[in-house]
Amino acid sequence: MKRLNLFLGAAALAAICLAASPAANAQENGNRDENGKIVRGPYETNRFGDNWFIGVAGGINVFWNEGYDNLRISPSLDANFGKWFTPSVGMRAGYQGLYAQVWSPIATTLGPTLDTEKNMYLEKFGYMYIHGDFLWNISNAFSGYKETRFWDFVPYLHAGYFRTYAMDEGTFASNQLAAGVGLLHNLRLANRLDLIIDMRATAVDGIVHGADGLAILPSVTMGLAVDLGWPNFVRSSTIIAAVEAASLDQIAAMEAAAVALEMANIALQEENADLEKANSKLSKEVTKLKNAQPAFNAEKFFGEMGPATVYFEIGKTVLNDKEMQHFDFIAKNIVEQVSEQTKIYITVLGTADSNTGTKQRNQYLSKARGEYIYNLLTTKYGIAPDRLVVQSKVLSDKAHPDLERAVTITF
């Protein structure tokens, strides 16, 4: 117990001395403004590859339980790899371990075999602690970041996985969760090289070294840390000062260029609006031309078009299917056109040939054929009756009588 008290007392004294470092660091030059006030951030966000560090240290570790007189003081090896995200906040992952041994007057799980020369039992076991640490650089937090500061004081919290195992004999092994606090001291030796003193206290189940209850494992290691990547931080105020120091002529030129660009943009917007109006007007004119009906020239139309004729079979007063299709084409494409576009009369002349039948029969056929076409034009195709003139005629002495059994439509 005396050895533990001595160890803890020495650690507390070192911590008190080191805790004074922020006050001392605040007096250093390089982190104050022209009025002597401490300058604190903000800082530029560092790149992923910047402000990394790797450290290796060696020292001692103590296994101790309340009510347990045997202290297991063992050598300890530390290896850490981490990154500073800001001048005050960082994280690291680490390994701590080696082995521990102590002579015990009684047999234990870790020392079941009696050494006859010493009449004692040698307990020997290996251990390792894989942990993650949350780092807080108090020196930078309270005294402002300074690249060349000699002493940085960094408390931290840690937690991880603690494993112990028998080395010489036995099957003892224990795996436990552990956590605690620590004090890290970075002493600047060169631009990328620091001397590190790491004081850590770890709480874990005492079963890891064959004891009962809670075990407290103090340790102190010392070694070196190397900074990787770009190791410093750039204060944003430095950037602002650089901008303020720029030439007024350059700033004026930039402002003038910005005004010119804005004026050009306004002109382009106005021109674009005019083009949109012109395009809309042209679109309307195109639509109007597409929908416009072509002018109808009645004189030309009737000058080029001759009479239209449909033919009947001998003795018939109605059209067969073939001639009915012919007449439907005439009615839709010629007669209706004339009916809508002109004010002229339409003459329907029914005829019959005198080579067959009696005179009375032929007169009947010519009249009936004309009236048949008249009825179709008025009822089926909707031509006003007062625009139609119906005539009939019997033709004689013709070489082609088949062509005279017809109705001729003239305009």
Is the residue at 329 inside a domain? Answer: yes
Are 188 and 81 contained in the same domain?
yes
Is the residue at 401 inside a domain? Answer: yes
More confident residue, 244 or 378: 378
Least confident range of 42-56, 146-160, 296-310: 296-310
More confident residue, 17 or 264: 264
Are 399 and 324 contained in the same domain?
yes
Are 88 and 186 contained in the same domain?
yes
Is the dihedral angle over the CA atoms 271, 272, 273, 278 positive or is it negative? positive
Single-letter code of the amino acid located at 107? A
Q: Span 332-354, mean pLDDT? A: 70
- Give me the chain's average pLDDT, please: 80
pLDDT at residue 22, rounded to an integer: 46
Are 202 and 327 contained in the same domain?
no
Is the residue at 339 inside a domain? Answer: yes
The domain boundary, picked from 191, 208, 233, lies at: 233
As given in the structure block, the two tokens for residue 97 are 């371990």
Q: What is the CATH number of the domain that holds 54?
A: 2.40.160.20
Highest mean pLDDT among 42-46, 239-243, 244-248: 42-46
Please give the order of strands across the beta sheet that includes 406-410: 308-311, 406-410, 346-353, 388-395
Are 229 and 303 contained in the same domain?
no
215 SS3 class = strand
- Distance (Å, whole) CA 254 – CA 260: 10
Total domain count, the chain: 2
**Confidence bin at 2 (pLDDT 50/70/90):** very low
Are 185 and 50 contained in the same domain?
yes
Angle at 366 between CA 365 and CA 371, to 5 degrees: 95
Q: 7-28: per-residue pLDDT in tens? A: 445 454 444 444 444 444 444 4
Domain that holds residue 339: 298-410
Is the residue at 243 inside a domain? Answer: no
Is the residue at 265 inside a domain? Answer: no
Is the residue at 245 inside a domain? Answer: no
Cβ-based burial of 201 (10 A; exposed 0-12, middle 13-18, buried ≥19): middle
Q: 220-233: per-residue pLDDT in tens? A: 999 999 998 888 88
**Confidence bin at 250 (pLDDT 50/70/90):** confident
pLDDT at residue 196, rounded to an integer: 95
Are 225 and 304 contained in the same domain?
no
Q: What is the CATH number of the domain that holds 352?
A: 3.30.1330.60
265 SS3 class = helix
Is the residue at 256 inside a domain? Answer: no
Is the residue at 15 inside a domain? Answer: yes
The domain boundary, picked from 187, 209, 233, lies at: 233
Are 78 and 200 contained in the same domain?
yes
Q: 26-75: per-residue pLDDT in tens? A: 444 567 766 667 777 678 778 888 999 999 999 998 887 765 666 778 89
The domain boundary, picked from 218, 233, 248, lies at: 233
